[in-house]
Amino acid sequence: MTTAAVAAKTSWAVDASHSNVEFAVKHLMIATVRGRFYDVTGTVELDPEDPAKSAIDVTINAVSIDTRQDQRDGHLRSADFFDVANFPVLAFKSTRIRRDGDDFLVDGDLTIRGVTKPVTLRATEEGRTRDPWGGERIGFSASSKINRRDFGLTWNQVLEAGGFAVGDEVKITVDVELVKQ
């Protein structure tokens, strides 16, 4: 490996206080409920010249779920959904990163409730800057959709008028700020 190649790859850490991992799912087939996980850690090995040499590894503390409603959050932490007592973390580890115009497609393995499935995130670099303390920062946004049932999140209720209490499609949005290490 040449010196230039070594210098090109950089290590970054997730700044949890300036990052969001959010989800949205239909409730009663008429409204969208949004929530987030606020305890997110992770690292990114970034090669801006060759995204295929980059890597992402993120862990989310499942108990940190927040939908702004304590009773619902408790239910989501229970065995009906995330079962945080037995599966305390969600994880994402990239398997391939490639350019798609100005964006990136990030393939990876998402693990929820002990079930690992491949997902693809569409990611956009939002910018780079120096913080007031001299550190380098970079921002990315990303999105994807999953079927919650694929991950063992199967709890639901049939509605008297037809349909279900909780939709199967979950929209995921990520806004992450990384700090160069």
DSSP 164: B
pLDDT at 1 (0 to 100): 46
CA distance 78 to 142: 28
Cα–Cα–Cα angle for 81, 75, 64, nearest 5°? 80
Phi, psi of 21 (to 5 degrees): -120, 110
pLDDT in tens, the chain (181 residues): 444 545 579 999 999 999 999 999 999 888 999 999 999 999 999 998 899 999 999 999 999 999 999 999 999 999 999 999 999 999 999 999 999 999 999 999 999 999 999 999 999 999 999 999 999 999 999 999 999 999 999 998 888 888 888 999 999 999 999 999 9
pLDDT at 78 (0 to 100): 96
User: What tokens does 143 get?
Assistant: 């999105």
Q: Is pTM beyond 0.85 here?
A: yes
Cα–Cα–Cα angle for 138, 43, 49, nearest 5°? 55
Query: What domains, with CATH codes, occur in the chain?
Result: 10-180 (2.40.128.110)
The closest of 72, 10, 19, 24 to 42, measured between CA atoms, is 19
